[in-house]
């Protein structure tokens, strides 16, 4: 069971014998339209494809001239350019184009029209690196969100809280960004909107102490998932990274036996800078997974391939907008499909 599966664990079925004899319309549970699995998948794939519109445009250009034509050196050069423009990085751009060329040859394929399929397979493989950590469904789960300022941690905290709450989990938010009073206020507003509890501290309080209090509250309230929103910090500021290390140690101490996930929240619009963030945050607090935000509207979606390849940590979630519903489960095949033109 991986982190994804948290969302699948629904509320236990209501014990019918404990129900009142007559159920008035007000008592009856709201009828939730069951969305068929295929339809959900199609929605997810569609949202990912839309989020990648601008990044995909570079590849569409490479295929634009004579899509029915045969691949040649000029085409593969254009493919490198497309990868570089999509911000996968120069070295990796060349590497991907070469690998695609090799696979085309091996398969005896010669038409440009065959390239997207081969590219999708390759990219999907790279993005499948790293296994989501196993999860004990019967114990508290703690999701710590870390990252630089403005990457989308607080918004993701709200999105995850909303999803988990809707799936019937008892969720608690911890406002461990104590640097600015406004940060706690922002999370408090979200907590109210999505209807979950929040534990906060005073401005300037030790974030570790907020986390400690939140962990105690989580245990005494029978919380299923505790989501910790931490203060943004530059990966190069050693003292702040040390502070984050302390927060993670506090979580481990205060929540023995819990499933603890450290998720790095990366803003897709920063492109290649995500690599340095990923490397240094991983050193500080052994990352469990990545969340990519603001994929909507950026043309730099390719950087995600570079990060996944370097870190071998799975991408779990993608943010595609500013509302609580703008969260998509990351599937490598969806991303790879969305990147390439049809």
Least distance from ligand GDP to the Cβ atom of residue 201, Å = 9
Of residues 19 and 323, the one with the C-beta less far from ligand GDP = 323
Q: Is 149 in the site for ligand GDP (CB under 6 A)?
A: yes
Instruction: Give Cα 124 to chain centroid, integer Å.
Output: 16
DSSP string, 45-73: HHHHHHHTHHHHHHHHHHHHS-TTSB--H
Of residues 50 and 105, the one with the C-beta less far from ligand GDP = 50
Tell me the window of 133-141, 147-155, 161-169, 256-264 that interacts with ligand GDP (CB under 6 A).
147-155
Tell me which of 55, 155, 223, 282 binds ligand GDP, using CB under 6 A: 155
Longest dimension (CA), the chain: 76
CB–CB of 265/153 below 8 Å?
yes
Closest-approach residue to ligand GDP (CB):
319
Q: Is 152 in the site for ligand GDP (CB under 6 A)?
A: yes
CB–CB of 233/241 below 8 Å?
yes
Tell me which of 112, 153, 162, 262 binds ligand GDP, using CB under 6 A: 153
From the list ligand GDP, Mg ion, none, pick the one residue 114 interacts with, judged by a Cβ distance below 5 to 8 Å according to partner type.
Answer: none
From the list Mg ion, ligand GDP, none, pick the one residue 312 interacts with, judged by a Cβ distance below 5 to 8 Å according to partner type.
Answer: none
The one-character DSSP state at 110 is -
Least distance from ligand GDP to the Cβ atom of residue 42, Å = 21
Q: Is 329 in the site for ligand GDP (CB under 6 A)?
A: no
Here the tokens at position 120 are: 């999708």
Of residues 115 and 290, the one with the C-beta less far from ligand GDP = 290
Here the tokens at position 214 are: 């939140």
Q: Is 277 in the site for ligand GDP (CB under 6 A)?
A: no
Tell me which of 55, 154, 235, 277 binds ligand GDP, using CB under 6 A: 154
Q: Is 154 in the site for Mg ion (CB under 5 A)?
A: yes
CB–CB of 56/341 below 8 Å?
yes
In which order are the strands placed within the sheet that holds 197-200? 197-200, 171-176, 225-230, 141-146, 259-267, 289-293, 315-319, 327-329
Separation CA 227–CA 9 (nearest Å)? 17
Q: Nearest 5°: phi and psi at 283?
A: -65, -40
Q: Is 282 in the site for ligand GDP (CB under 6 A)?
A: no
Q: Is 151 in the site for ligand GDP (CB under 6 A)?
A: yes
Q: Is 178 in the site for Mg ion (CB under 5 A)?
A: no
Q: Nearest 5°: phi and psi at 301?
A: -60, -20
Q: Is 293 in the site for ligand GDP (CB under 6 A)?
A: yes
Tell me which of 116, 319, 324, 338 binds ligand GDP, using CB under 6 A: 319
Place of tokens 């990219």: 123
Q: Give exposure, 202-229, as e/b (b: 16+ Cβ within 10 Å).
A: eeebbbbebbbbbbebbeeeebbbbbbb
- Strand ranges, E, within the chain: 141-146, 171-176, 197-200, 225-230, 259-267, 289-293, 315-319, 327-329
Q: Is 269 in the site for Mg ion (CB under 5 A)?
A: no
Tell me the window of 36-44, 69-77, 125-133, 148-156 that interacts with Mg ion (CB under 5 A).
148-156
Tell me the window of 65-73, 145-153, 190-198, 234-242 that interacts with Mg ion (CB under 5 A).
145-153
Residues lying near ligand GDP in the complex (CB under 6 A) are found at: 147, 149-155, 206, 208-209, 212-213, 232, 246, 250, 253, 293-294, 296-297, 319-322, 326
Residues lying near Mg ion in the complex (CB under 5 A) are found at: 153-154
């Amino acid at each position: 069971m991986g982190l994804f599966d948290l969302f699948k664990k629904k509320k236990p079925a209501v014990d019918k014998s404990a129900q009142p004899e007559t159920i008035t319309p007000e008592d009856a549970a709201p009828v939730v339209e069951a969305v068929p699995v295929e339809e959900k998948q199609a929605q997810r794939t569609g949202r990912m494809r839309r989020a990648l519109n601008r990044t995909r445009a570079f590849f569409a250009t490479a295929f634009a001239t004579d899509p029915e034509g045969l691949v040649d050196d000029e085409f593969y050069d254009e493919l490198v350019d497309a990868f570089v423009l999509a911000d996968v990085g120069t070295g990796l751009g060349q590497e991907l184009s070469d690998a695609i060329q090799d696979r085309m040859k091996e398969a005896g394929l010669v038409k440009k029209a065959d390239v997207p399929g081969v590219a999708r397979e390759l990219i999907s493989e790279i993005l499948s690196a790293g296994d989501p950590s196993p999860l004990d469904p019967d114990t508290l789960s703690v999701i710590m969100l870390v990252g630089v300022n403005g990457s989308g941690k607080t918004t993701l905290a709200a999105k995850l809280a909303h999803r988990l709450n809707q799936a019937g989990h008892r969720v608690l938010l911890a406002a461990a960004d104590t640097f600015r009073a406004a940060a706690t206020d922002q999370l408090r507003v979200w907590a109210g909107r999505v209807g979950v509890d929040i534990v906060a501290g005073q401005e300037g309080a030790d974030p570790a102490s907020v986390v400690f209090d939140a962990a105690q509250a989580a245990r005494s309230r029978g919380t299923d998932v505790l989501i910790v929103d931490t203060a943004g910090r530059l990966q190069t500021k050693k003292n702040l990274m040390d502070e984050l290390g302390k927060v993670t140690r506090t979580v481990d101490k205060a929540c023995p036996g819990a499933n603890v996930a450290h998720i790095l929240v990366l803003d897709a619009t920063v492109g290649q800078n995500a690599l340095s963030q990923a490397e240094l945050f991983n050193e500080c607090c052994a990352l469990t997974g990545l969340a990519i935000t603001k994929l909507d509207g950026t043309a730099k979606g390719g950087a995600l391939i570079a990060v996944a390849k370097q870190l071998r940590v799975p991408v779990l979630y993608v943010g595609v907008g500013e509302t609580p519903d703008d969260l998509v489960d990351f599937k490598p095949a969806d991303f790879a499909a969305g990147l390439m033109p049809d």
